[in-house]
Amino acid sequence: MKTLEYEIAVIGGGAAGLTAAAQAAAAGKRTVVIERSRELGGVLLQCIHSGFGLHYFHEELTGPEYAARVQQKATEAGADFLLASTVMQILPGKKGPLLTVYSRQEGVVWLQAQAVILAMGCRERCRGNLGIPGDRVSGVYSAGTAQLLLNREGIVPGKRAVIVGSGDIGLIMARRLTWSGVKVACVLEIMPYPAGLSRNIAQCLEDFGIPLHLSTSITGIHGRNQVESVTFAPLVNGQPDLTQEERVTCDTVLFSVGLVPENELSRDCGIKLNPLTGGALVDEDLMTSLPGIFSCGNVLHVHDLVDFVSLEAERCADSAVRYCARERRPGSQIQIAPGANVRYVIPNQVTPGQPHHLLLRTSRPLAAAELQLRDTTGNRLFVKRLRHLRPAEMISLEIPHDCTAGAKGLVLELEELN
């Protein structure tokens, strides 16, 4: 068995991990990226459409181009890479987190780090996770799996598809399938509003005349060996109204029903998770409940744009670098919690009196709202008017340094304005 030592170990070689590694290595830290696949880039490699990089690289890139850019940054900064390598466990070592890595090339590696950055990304919810009833048939895929097959293997999954859920990958795939000669019969969304970005609704569905059925639930998948049809019904009082059930014939069903941060490794090593995001609970430095272990990107919370993943990863790496240099924030941190109409807020703790960078999502579409940051006694410390808020789109917020001085706890709310 081999042993390796690094100052910073980054788990995951996608957008978050590569950006974090580039940032940490550029700061002079001995940094390694541990990636379970045989290539770097993560899910970006199968996202061959454009629209990436407008905020971070100030130009429009495809997924593989974006991946190549961040990989190049990490390589040039001097980061090392362990490919085809999976972190099996994180143990509390004497000098910091000790990782057990199973590597195709190296065998079992014990990797001692001073700080760890979790950047494992997220996975798709699948049919089984939702307990969708009906027959067990071929032709049912997660949208991302279908994207992988089509974009990387050149395999068109069928001839006529139904897409369940209006997440961004599903919307992108509706357009991609149409371009590949597959008829997309419809997209079914259980919520009264789409789950994906507005621009994807316009560019991937409306431009191709693909119907989107809102407040509609799939009620079954039917067939003998291959999918033959799907049934669905509108929701009435939160339940599918079977008297209005419809059947649509198809040979393929794609599920785009949400993403889950891949935190099983984090759970195994005792990191506390946030039930609202599925990610770790983090402080202002994006440090988890275990000292020296940080989290960023889609494993912390599912992002809408990869650019924001990279920005968060830079911030996370900066914190890890400071941690290695034994720089600690002065004073103790206080809790910040989501209030009315706020689905979640990142981070979960802040240092009062400092400037704060907050990320949040609304829990429902709001045409106009007043964002209010209050302390535990109800005092408004900061307010801001916001328009066109959608659950699909993340809200980024800068709070000036003196707002929260002296606060014992914070609540963030969105008050709807008419």
Partner 1 sequence: MENIFDVAIVGGGIVGMATAYRLAHRDLSVALLEKESDVCQGVSKANSGIVHGGFHYSASTTLKGRLELRGNLAFDRLHAELGFPFQRCGILVVAFAEDQLPALEKLYRQGVENGVPGLELCDAERTRQLEPKLNSQVFGGLYAPGGGVVEPYRLVFALMSAAVQNGVRLYCGFQVAGATEQDGTWEIASLDGRSLRARYVINAAGLHADDVSRLFGAEEFEVVPRKGEEYLLDRLSPARPSKVVFPVPSAHTKGVLVIPTAGGTTMIGPTAEIVEDKHDNSTTAANRKRIFALARKMVSGISERDLVTSFSGSRPVIEGKEDFFLALSEKAPRFLQAAGIQSPGLTASPAIAEYLEQLLAKAGLAIKDKTTAFLPWQPTPALREISPAEADRLHDTDAPGWTDVVCRCEKVSEAEIRAAIRQGHDTLEGVKLATRAGMGRCQGGFCGLKIMRLIAEELGLSLEAVMRRESKGKANISVLGGSRQ
Q: Which is nearer to partner 1, 266 or 354 (CB)?
A: 266
Q: What string of DSSP letters covers 292-333? A: TEEE-GGGTS--S-HHHHHHHHHHHHHHHHHHHTT---SS--
Q: Which amino acid is at 412?
A: L
Binding flag, residue 390, partner 1 (CB under 8 A): no
Q: Which stretch binds partner 1 (CB under 8 A): 3-11, 47-55, 59-67, 139-147?
A: 139-147
Which of 42, 63, 134, 292 forms a contact with partner 1 (CB under 8 A)? 134
Exposed / middle / buried, residue 167 (Cβ in 10 Å: 0-12, 13-18, 19+)? buried
Binding flag, residue 159, partner 1 (CB under 8 A): yes
Minimum CB distance to partner 1, residue 140 (Å): 10
Distance CA 367, CA 261 (A): 29
Binding flag, residue 100, partner 1 (CB under 8 A): yes
CB 124 within 8 A of CB 259: yes
Which of 180, 203, 215, 333 forms a contact with partner 1 (CB under 8 A)? 180
DSSP-derived letter for residue 391 is: T
Minimum CB distance to partner 1, residue 269 (Å): 13
Distance CA 142, CA 155 (A): 15
Minimum CB distance to partner 1, residue 164 (Å): 14
Which of 55, 72, 95, 108 forms a contact with partner 1 (CB under 8 A)? 108
Which of 148, 191, 248, 386 forms a contact with partner 1 (CB under 8 A)? 148
Phi/psi at 210 (5° precision): -90, 120
Q: Which stretch binds partner 1 (CB under 8 A): 3-11, 22-30, 105-113, 305-313?
A: 105-113
Q: Which stretch binds partner 1 (CB under 8 A): 9-17, 155-163, 280-288, 389-397?
A: 155-163
SS3 state at 39: coil
Which of 48, 68, 77, 130 forms a contact with partner 1 (CB under 8 A)? 130
CB 17 within 8 A of CB 11: yes
CB 414 within 8 A of CB 366: yes
Number of residues engaging partner 1 in binding (CB under 8 A):
51
User: Residues of 176-205 as b/e, b for ≥16 C-beta within 10 angstroms?
Assistant: bbbeeebebbbbbbbeeebbbbeebbebbb
Q: Which stretch binds partner 1 (CB under 8 A): 8-16, 56-64, 101-109, 359-367?
A: 101-109
Binding flag, residue 157, partner 1 (CB under 8 A): yes
Distance CA 407, CA 410 (A): 7
Q: Give residues with Cβ within 8 angstroms of 121, minimum separation 6.
A: 12, 14, 16, 42, 43, 261, 262, 297, 298, 299
Q: Which is nearer to partner 1, 219 or 348 (CB)?
A: 219
Residues 205-234 as x/- pattern, contact with partner 1 by CB under 8 A = --------------xx---xxxx-------
Minimum CB distance to partner 1, residue 179 (Å): 11
Q: Are strands 410-416 and 334-338 parallel, antiparallel or unpaired?
A: parallel
Binding flag, residue 155, partner 1 (CB under 8 A): yes
Q: Which residues bind partner 1 (CB under 8 A)?
A: 1, 36, 84, 86, 88, 100, 102-108, 123-124, 126-131, 133-136, 138-139, 142, 144-145, 148-150, 153-159, 180, 219-220, 224-227, 251-252, 264, 267
